[in-house]
């Protein structure tokens, strides 16, 4: 049984009205973030303190090949641990020692909290402090919570990057730098680095870095540009250390990427003509790539169920650049500080929901019968069985979708299930 609280709140400045729902949700937990974080930070290891269910989730989400040795593992809490009959800290120290002996290349060890470890109130902050003292000069040990009790799966990255903020070295007070916040595939990061260099913006750093030993400097001259919309706590932690946060849309599609780059160009005083010259070739390529996908998507109706926190910027891209009709855009949280530019671009009258009541949302999907529903894996199969086409939202964080050169690939993710559905009907 769930208790539901539904209320509507009007955003300021003529922004869309937000319908808030509070009830049963169905989302992944933050442990899923380890799947892309461990690939990005190449000298880090993620040790989850959790149950066998946590281990199974990671293995199935990562799809690790049998010959691969991933940089994550689960210290499984047994019945004796949960009953308080064993010294969890002693066992944790033993497991950490085994990992570091086997993997001398590891420079940062993350102790990742889960629902089970939080239920028994295992103090991972104290454990990280103790292990940091034991391995000082050899490895940095940090902790963060990836529990899914009150959060959605992308907040695991937010918690991880927030734990890194106190470790960032102090930057020079007089040297302005750009810090791009959010995990990006290496190919996308390289593309953005080239664009910033051509614009004359720099130095440019990325958080997280490819190696935890290369943490970017941070200070009052640091300007932060978010690449992912679910990093509110990290952004505010950077601001508390003196950084300035730019207001910008997110780099999805042509319009979003151009607006994102323009925010940085304006901060550096780059003339608009220079921005146009540098981005024109990439925009032309993106337009050619989008043309075919637009033919498949234009006029199709789409509903987003709350899952990844990417829903608002992706919906903006699909409506404004691909011609799709937004039936409902639901997202776990609406952080107005981070979504100001995106909310202003949503069409007036769009049904915008925050939070979740899965039963009510599914009722609306069945009533609306959109051409495509974006949702988590747990809801996709039942909806497909009812003849409704779906797209897994988790694919949006596993696939390179940022920037001009990925705009067509992003659109194709949504065209593909529609094409498949049409073939099945033949």
Enter the pTM of the model: 0.91
177-224 residue pLDDT tens: 999 999 999 999 999 999 999 999 999 999 999 999 899 999 999 999
Q: How far apart are CA 258 and CA 265, in angstroms?
A: 10
Interval 329-359: pLDDT, tens: 999 999 999 999 999 999 988 999 998 888 9
Q: Is residue 385 part of a domain?
A: yes
First-to-last alpha carbon distance for the chain, in angstroms, is 42
Cis before 203 (ω within 30): yes
pLDDT at 353: 93
Whether residues 134 and 96 fall in one domain: yes
**Which of 87, 117, 151 is the last residue before a domain boundary?**
151
Pairing mode of beta strands 5-10, 17-22: antiparallel
Q: Which of residues 104 and 120 earns the better pLDDT score?
A: 104
Better-scored residue on pLDDT, 75 or 195 = 195
Contacts of 312 (CB under 8 A, 6+ apart): 229, 329, 331, 334, 339, 342, 343, 346, 352
The boundaries of the domain holding residue 139 are: 30-151
- Tell me if the bond preceding 397 is cis, omega within 30° of 0: no
pLDDT at position 53 is: 80
Tell me: do 263 and 313 sit in the same domain: no
- Band of pLDDT at residue 57, cut at 50, 70 and 90: confident
Pairing of strands 301-304, 244-245: unpaired
Q: Are residues 296 and 385 in the same domain?
A: yes
- Residue bearing tokens 């109706």: 301
Based on the domain organization, do 417 and 292 belong to the same domain? yes
- Tell me: do 413 and 308 sit in the same domain: yes
> Do 35 and 18 belong together in one domain?
no
**Residues 331 and 265 placed together within one structural domain of the fold:** no
Domain check: are 122 and 82 in the same one? yes
Q: Tens of pLDDT along 259-305? A: 999 999 999 999 999 999 999 999 999 999 999 999 999 999 999 99
Is 11 annotated in some ligand binding site? no
- Is 160 among the domain residues? no
Of 275, 297, 318, the domain-final residue: 275
Q: What does the mean pLDDT of the chain come to? A: 89
Residue finishing a domain among 251, 275, 299:
275
Structure tokens that stand for 39 in this block = 């690939």
8 A C-beta contact, residue 305 and residue 374: yes
Between 16 and 369, the more confident residue is 369
d(CA 319, CA 386): 25
320 and 252 share one domain: no
pLDDT of residue 55: 80
Q: Is 115 annotated as a binding residue?
A: yes
Quick one: pLDDT band at residue 79, thresholds 50, 70, 90?
low
Cα–Cα nearest to 354, from 105, 95, 17? 17
pLDDT band of residue 1 (cuts 50, 70, 90) is very low
Per-residue DSSP letter, 221: T
Measure Cα distances from 363 to 1, 70, 368, 392 in Å: 17, 41, 9, 19
If asked whether residues 236 and 296 sit together in one domain, one would say no
Tell me, what's the pLDDT at 11? 47
Instruction: Let me know if residue 200 belongs to a domain.
Output: yes
Q: How many domains does the chain have?
A: 3
Residues 402 and 302 in one domain: yes
The reported pLDDT for the residue numbered 51 is: 80
Tell me the pLDDT band of 66, cut-offs 50, 70 and 90.
very low
Across the range 8-31, mean pLDDT stands at 69
352 with 421, same domain? yes
Consult the annotation and say whether 54 binds a ligand: yes
């Amino acid at each position: 049984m769930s208790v539901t609280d539904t209320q509507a709140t009007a955003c300021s400045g003529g922004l869309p009205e937000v319908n808030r729902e509070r009830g049963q949700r169905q989302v992944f937990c933050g442990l899923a973030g380890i799947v892309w974080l461990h690939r990005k930070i190449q000298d880090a290891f993620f040790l989850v303190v959790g149950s066998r269910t946590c281990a199974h989730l990671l293995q199935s989400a990562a799809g690790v090949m049998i010959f691969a040795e991933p940089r994550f593992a689960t210290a499984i809490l047994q019945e004796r641990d949960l009953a308080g009959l064993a010294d969890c800290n002693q066992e944790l120290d033993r497991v950490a020692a085994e990992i570091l002996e086997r993997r001398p290349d590891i420079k940062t060890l993350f102790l990742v909290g889960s629902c089970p470890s939080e239920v028994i109130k295992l103090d991972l902050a104290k454990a990280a402090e103790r292990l940091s003292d034991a391995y000082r000069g050899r490895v940095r040990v940090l902790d963060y919570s990836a529990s899914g009790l009150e959060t959605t799966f992308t907040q695991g990255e937010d918690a991880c990057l927030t734990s890194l903020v106190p470790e960032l070295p102090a930057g020079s007070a007089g040297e302005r730098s750009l810090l791009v916040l959010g995990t990006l595939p290496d190919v996308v990061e390289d593309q953005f680095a080239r664009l910033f260099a051509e614009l004359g913006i720099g130095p440019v750093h990325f958080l997280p870095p490819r190696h935890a030993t290369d943490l970017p400097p941070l200070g009052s001259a640091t300007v932060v540009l978010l690449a992912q919309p679910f990093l509110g706590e990290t952004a505010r932690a950077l601001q508390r250390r003196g950084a300035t946060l730019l207001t910008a849309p997110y780099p999805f599609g042509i319009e979003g990427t151009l607006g994102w780059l323009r925010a940085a160009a304006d901060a550096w005083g780059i003339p608009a003509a220079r921005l146009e010259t540098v981005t024109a070739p990439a925009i032309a390529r993106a337009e050619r790539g989008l043309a075919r996908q637009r033919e498949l998507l234009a006029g199709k109706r789409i509903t987003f169920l709350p899952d990844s926190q990417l829903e608002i910027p992706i919906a903006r891209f699909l409506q404004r650049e691909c011609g799709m009709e937004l039936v409902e855009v639901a997202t776990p949280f609406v952080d107005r500080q981070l979504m100001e530019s995106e909310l202003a671009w949503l069409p007036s009258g769009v049904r915008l929901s925050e939070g979740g009541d899965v039963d009510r949302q599914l009722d609306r999907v069945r009533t609306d019968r959109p051409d495509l529903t974006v949702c988590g894996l747990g809801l996709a199969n039942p909806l497909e069985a009812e003849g409704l086409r779906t797209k897994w939202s988790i694919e949006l964080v596993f696939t390179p979708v940022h920037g001009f050169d990925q705009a067509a690939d992003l659109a194709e993710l949504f065209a593909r299930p529609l094409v498949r559905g049409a073939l099945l009907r033949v």
